[in-house]
Amino acid sequence: MKATQLYRKHNGENSVTPLSHRAKLTVEFLQQNVPNFIEPSVWPPNSPEINPVDYAVWGALQQDVYRVPIVGLEDLKDRVRTCWPSLDQQLINKAIDQWRPRLKTVVEVHGGHIEQLFT
């Protein structure tokens, strides 16, 4: 499966939307293409302090997307689609590398807040 196959047409329109990160095809793709892929069954519940996209990626994406004022919803969608592929891979790698230490810290503080420990 190619990465481009992880998208589907929305209601027959020309726009595409990403499939869920837990969707069967997405998980199969990740199992085959991502070394040390962690299965969804052991993913922690939603928490911005232990979700790499929340604690690192969205902020960087937001800076790029809003560099110039947005003119409507379609402009916003276009900017996200344009900026997402240009995110710095080192930023993504660093966010992923922080995941296990963050998870361990959450356990150590019995589920308390940890963000101040990783800034």
Q: Residue 63 has what pLDDT?
A: 94
Range of the domain at 63: 45-119
Q: Residue 21 has what pLDDT?
A: 54
Instruction: Summarize pLDDT for 80-98 with one digit per residue, the tens.
Output: 999 999 999 999 999 889 8
**Does residue 110 sit in the same domain as residue 55?**
yes
Which of the residue ranges 8-17, 27-36, 60-69 has the most confident prediction, judged by mean pLDDT?
A: 60-69
**Does residue 37 sit in the same domain as residue 54?**
no
Q: Helices 58-65 and 73-83: crossing angle, nearest 10°? A: 120
Q: Do the beta carbons of residue 106 and residue 55 sit within 8 Å?
A: no
pLDDT at 12 over 50: no
pLDDT at 15 over 50: no
**Does residue 69 sit in the same domain as residue 110?**
yes
Give the chain's domain count: 2
**Does residue 16 sit in the same domain as residue 53?**
no
Q: Residue 73 has what pLDDT?
A: 94
Q: Residue 52 has what pLDDT?
A: 83
